[in-house]
Amino acid sequence: MRQYIVIIISVVFLGLLEWGNTAFSQNPICDIKINGSDGPITLHHSDTLTITIALDNNEQTDNADWWLAVNTPFGLYFFTFNGWTTEWKPGYQGPLFHLDSYEVLNTPLSGLLAGTYTLYFGVDTVMDGNVTWNSLYCEEAVFNIETTQESIKVLFAVHIEPFLPEFGFDYGARREEMYWLRDLALSHGAKLTVASNGEFMEFVEDFGDQELVQSYLDAGFNWGTHIHPLWRRGRHDWVLESPDVSEDLVRRIWQDNIDAVNSVIGTKNNYGVAPYQCAQPLLAKMMGEHGFVIQTALTEPAGIMAWENLGHYPWNPFRPSTETGKFLKEDLNQTQYILIPHYPQLEPNPGPSGPRSLGTNQKNFIMEYIEWLHWQRNGLPTKVWVFGIATHDCYNNPNRGDIEAMLAWLEENFIGKATPTGQIIAEYATATEIAEEFCQWETEHPHESSFSWEEGEPYPYTYSDMPNLLREAEYDTVIDLGSTLTCYRFTRENALPIYVLWSWTGEQVVDFSSQIPGQLQVYDGKGNKYISTSGALKVTEEPIFVEVKE
């Protein structure tokens, strides 16, 4: 509860509490309430905490120690009129008297750790500054601060591409990348979700490399099917077609690739499919025919639509509509499969769906983190959050450094790390683990939307201006402004840096002149802006985006 909120941890105190609550006819009777309730109650970070106490002294006027304390997830504190302290001190010493309901505390919960808090109010009729247990009369009240959002699930996708001129024909080199990726993931605690084309699995059989694939499955990783428009005329004789082929030929393409994958891993281990291109509603039909319930990756038209209109990929799994061209529209009646989005290859070169660099992927994660924090902070309904990065067997080698740097950055700052208010930010997960969490979410939230957007609709998240402000930006570094503030700097090729920052402990006034002297242009990410001086920048728990005022 920081400097103004409480704690008390004492096994002895808890053990004797039952005796202290025993009421005799002439004993003082203590009462403590949380938001008007005796408790236990559940609160969220968007709520305000009010603590009130009362005393029926039963006409007793003995001198007494008056105690108020609380047991929290972060320590032991006692109330005094000079503030909360970790020392065992009564809040007041003096005669007992009748006390009507008295408000001791009224404060927002946004800065507190999630968890269980137990408050105690008592009087001890031996007034000596210590707790005398056989003369203590007290009451407790319990509240729990509940987090509303589970951690962001980080999907690490690996696509194994067909053997075509643009991808290369060296199976041995690709195999080495699959060994390297496996070892990298294991060293960082990451979980891989692999989608393979059919011919790669033929090479696995030719070279006796089944143990490589099995090592992925043994590690708890996913292995599934990656479908480009190639059908199998014979072993290592795969025919490339245009995406616009007949339904029968699409069915042949799917069947040949799935059969080749299943011949190595078995049907039950095939998690699902990452289709390169497949027209709606045929995609849903193929998923149904093969019993797949998971699609990973956005098809290229969907990725282009997301980048051009939203500035990023969706941050939540959803059930895609089967309507032609409605790539990002949700259909709650489509029960065959869910889509788990992830970004394209992590590499310096941009693609049709936007930049793909290390700094861009880091920026994309921070944008999602900011949105996730908004939902946490405001106690909004639970959602499943997913952030996906990707590489390919044939493109991985020149990007090893950036891929390893991405994992190290996530591990250092977010994976398994808690916010100052106690929520775990992110954890690695496979596609099947994310799908399981999503299906459980659907069961608990029937008929609720996860994500949906189509042309003409407003931006589907909170900070509609954030993707525009950061569109040409790349993550640069963390700016240390102290433990109660978070600040990230982003570089831009044709402009000066832009920053995003927020407070963890309510409003603060920050001297930002070490980063930008003079006047600042400040944006709230929702379309509003104002000018501030760098020496007195007001920062709250809502993020602000700051650049030099030109």
- For residue range 127-159, list pLDDT tens digits in order: 999 988 888 999 999 998 877 789 999 999 999
**pLDDT tens readout for residues 443-492:** 999 999 999 999 999 999 999 999 999 999 999 999 999 999 999 999 99
Give the residue with greater pLDDT, 3 vs 209: 209
Pair 399, 289 in one domain: yes
Assess whether pLDDT exceeds 60 at residue 214.
yes
pLDDT of residue 281: 86
Pair 232, 280 in one domain: yes
pLDDT of residue 386: 98
Q: Per-residue confidence at 16, pLDDT binned at 50, 70, 90?
A: very low
CB neighbour list of residue 280: distance below 8 Å, 6 or more residues apart: 320, 321, 322, 323, 324, 325, 326, 327
- Mean per-residue pLDDT for 375-391? 93
Pair 140, 181 in one domain: no
**Which CATH number is 53's domain given?**
2.60.40.3880
Amino acid at 422: G
Pair 510, 361 in one domain: no
From CA 490, how far away is CA 480, in angstroms rounded? 14
Q: Which two tokens stand for residue 172?
A: 């041995």
- Mean per-residue pLDDT for 74-92? 89
Does a structural domain hold residue 449?
no
Q: Per-residue confidence at 539, pLDDT binned at 50, 70, 90?
A: very high
Does a structural domain hold residue 536?
yes
Does a structural domain hold residue 365?
yes
pLDDT of residue 128: 93
Does a structural domain hold residue 537?
yes
pLDDT of residue 550: 87
Helix residue ranges, H only, 446-550: 466-469
pLDDT of residue 378: 86
- Mean per-residue pLDDT for 383-406? 98
From CA 193, how far away is CA 361, in angstroms rounded? 18
Does a structural domain hold residue 22?
yes
Assess whether pLDDT exceeds 60 at residue 170.
yes
CA distances from 509 to 420, 483, 485, 540 (A): 19, 14, 11, 9
Pair 287, 314 in one domain: yes
Pair 181, 120 in one domain: no
Pair 137, 156 in one domain: no
- Mean per-residue pLDDT for 267-277? 89
Domain span including residue 528: 466-548
Lowest mean pLDDT among 15-29, 65-79, 419-433: 15-29
Query: Are 228 and 161 a contacting pair, CB within 8 Å?
Result: yes
By the 10 Å C-beta count (0-12 exposed, 13-18 middle, 19+ buried), 294 is classed as buried
| Total-model pTM | 0.82
3-class secondary structure per residue, 309-367: HCCCCCCCCECECCCCCCCCCECCCCCCCEEECCCCECCCCCECCECCCHHHHHHHHHH
Domain count, the chain: 3
Last residue of a domain, one of 126, 145, 164: 145
Does a structural domain hold residue 507?
yes
Assess whether pLDDT exceeds 70 at residue 288.
yes
Lowest mean pLDDT among 74-78, 201-205, 344-348, 401-405: 74-78
- Mean per-residue pLDDT for 45-52? 87
Query: DSSP 3-state assignment of 472?
Result: coil
Q: Per-residue confidence at 26, pLDDT binned at 50, 70, 90?
A: confident
Does a structural domain hold residue 213?
yes
